[in-house]
């Protein structure tokens, strides 16, 4: 494929993404997608963002992490504090929340990622619970067990609130997917994936294993914190129980169900499982049994996740755009040949 074709495919891909996002936002604004459905889709988008971050460290790097709800909590509470205490603009506070989560990820990864085995899983499991307990016991900052109320939302206008929430979350999700896709198709991505495949061999080939594991874990924490930062102004209320171990398990199930090391699967599974949770709301607490059952069935019958049914291939807008452009060029060439014959 020549350079001109690549540029054309990229432009077509960008146009497809822009059109899809614009159409979805118009449907929300015109209430074709009602407010309840748009809220469920927004929550699904946030779940997908955090699960994408978890997939980077667990799916692509091969390091099991069990405390992403902790990074989500840090992003959410930091964003709320920056807006309520310092009066920073909301979007700046969202970035601040994500950076704070990345800082914690860096500090946790610094001592633990030098080790091999399941040490990261144990540390992140403990970290998630420590963060939750701290949120309960710091009422001056977090509101304590009663939760933190009065967090400024994206807008006070009831008409525009679901529209802006939906637009910002799905724009962020799209940017995260693009970021991870570009990373994984770069030399850094090749190094990260080689660590998952064989850490000893990667080290023998001269790859700085510790650096790339720390790099992936810090970026994973940043993305998890970003999801939490978007979560706070969407609800306008935070409670420590929103970020318990069950939440971390939900993100892990999304990654496993979609397929470890597959971005497309994470997006599909994240939206699907969030909707399933809403559909099964009538079961109350019994619906929590559904997730473990799904996980067991997937591990027994489809260990590679739902995308394993399709050869674990990623959905590619560039490939789609290339086929569209290719068909158009073939049509033009056929017309030219027909003209020459005449």
Encode pLDDT of 195-217 as tens digits: 999 999 999 999 999 999 999 99
DSSP calls for 193-217: HHHHH-HHHHHHTT--HHHHHHHHH
Residue 337 pLDDT level (bands cut at 50, 70, 90): low
Most confident of 20-34, 57-71, 109-123: 57-71
Domain that includes residue 226, residue range: 40-246
* 15 pLDDT more than 90: no
pLDDT digit string, tens, across residues 205-262: 999 999 999 999 999 999 999 999 999 999 899 999 999 988 998 999 999 999 899 9
Place of tokens 């990373």: 183
pLDDT grade for 290, boundaries at 50, 70 and 90: confident
Q: Does a structural domain hold residue 29?
A: no
- Predicted confidence (pLDDT) at residue 1 exceeds the cutoff of 50: no
Give the list of residues 6+ apart from residue 137 with CB closer than 8 angstroms, or none: 144
In a domain? residue 159: yes
Residue 1 lies in a domain: no
Strands, E assignment, the chain: 148-149, 237-238
Which has more pLDDT, 308 or 66? 66
In a domain? residue 187: yes
Check pLDDT > 60 for residue 2: no
Q: Which long-range contacts (CB under 8 A, 24 or more apart) does 9-18 make?
A: 9/318, 9/321, 9/322, 9/325, 10/318, 10/321, 12/321, 12/324, 12/325, 13/317, 13/318, 13/320, 13/321, 16/317, 16/320, 16/321, 17/174, 17/317
Is 59 within the bounds of a domain? yes
- 172 exposure class (CB count in 10 Å sphere: 0-12, 13-18, 19+): buried
**DSSP H or E segment with residue 5:** helix 3-29
Q: What is the tally of structural domains in the chain?
A: 1
Q: Is 342 among the domain residues?
A: no
Among the listed residues 157, 156, 155, 171, the one whose alpha carbon sits nearest the alpha carbon of residue 25: 171
Instruction: Provide the β-strand partners of residue 238.
Output: 148
Is residue 315 classed as helix, strand or coil in its secondary structure?
Answer: coil
Report yes or no on 286 lying in a domain: no
pLDDT tens-digit profile of 137-154? 988 888 888 889 988 888
């Amino acid at each position: 494929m020549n350079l001109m074709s690549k540029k054309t495919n990229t432009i077509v891909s960008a146009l497809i993404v822009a059109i899809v996002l614009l159409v979805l936002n118009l449907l929300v604004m015109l209430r074709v997608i009602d407010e309840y459905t748009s809220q469920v889709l927004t929550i699904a988008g946030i779940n997908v963002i955090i699960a994408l971050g978890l997939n980077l460290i667990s799916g692509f790097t091969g390091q099991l992490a069990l405390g992403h709800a902790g990074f989500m909590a840090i992003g959410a509470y930091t964003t709320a504090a920056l807006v309520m205490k310092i009066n920073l603009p909301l979007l700046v506070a969202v970035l601040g929340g994500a950076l704070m989560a990345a800082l914690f990820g860096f500090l946790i990864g610094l001592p633990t990622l030098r080790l091999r085995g399941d040490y990261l899983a144990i540390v992140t499991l403990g970290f998630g619970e420590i963060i939750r307990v701290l949120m309960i016991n710091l009422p001056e900052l977090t509101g304590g067990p009663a939760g933190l109320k009065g967090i400024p939302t994206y807008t006070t206008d009831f008409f525009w609130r679901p529209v802006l929430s939906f637009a910002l979350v799905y724009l962020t999700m799209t940017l995260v997917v693009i970021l991870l896709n570009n990373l994984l198709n770069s030399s850094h991505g090749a190094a990260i994936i080689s660590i998952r495949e064989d850490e000893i061999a990667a080290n023998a080939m001269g790859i700085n294993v510790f650096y790339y594991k720390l790099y992936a874990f810090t970026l994973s924490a940043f993305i998890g914190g970003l999801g939490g930062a978007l979560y706070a102004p969407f609800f306008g209320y935070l409670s420590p129980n929103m970020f318990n171990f069950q939440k971390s398990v939900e993100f892990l199930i999304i990654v496993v169900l979609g397929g470890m090391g597959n971005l497309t699967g994470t997006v599909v599974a994240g939206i699907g499982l969030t909707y399933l949770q809403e559909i099964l709301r009538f079961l109350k607490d019994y619906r929590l049994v559904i997730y473990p059952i799904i996980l067991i069935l997937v591990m027994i019958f489809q260990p590679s996740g739902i995308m394993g049914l399709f050869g674990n291939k990623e959905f590619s807008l560039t490939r789609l755009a290339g086929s569209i452009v290719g068909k158009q060029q073939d049509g033009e060439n056929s017309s030219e040949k027909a003209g020459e014959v005449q």
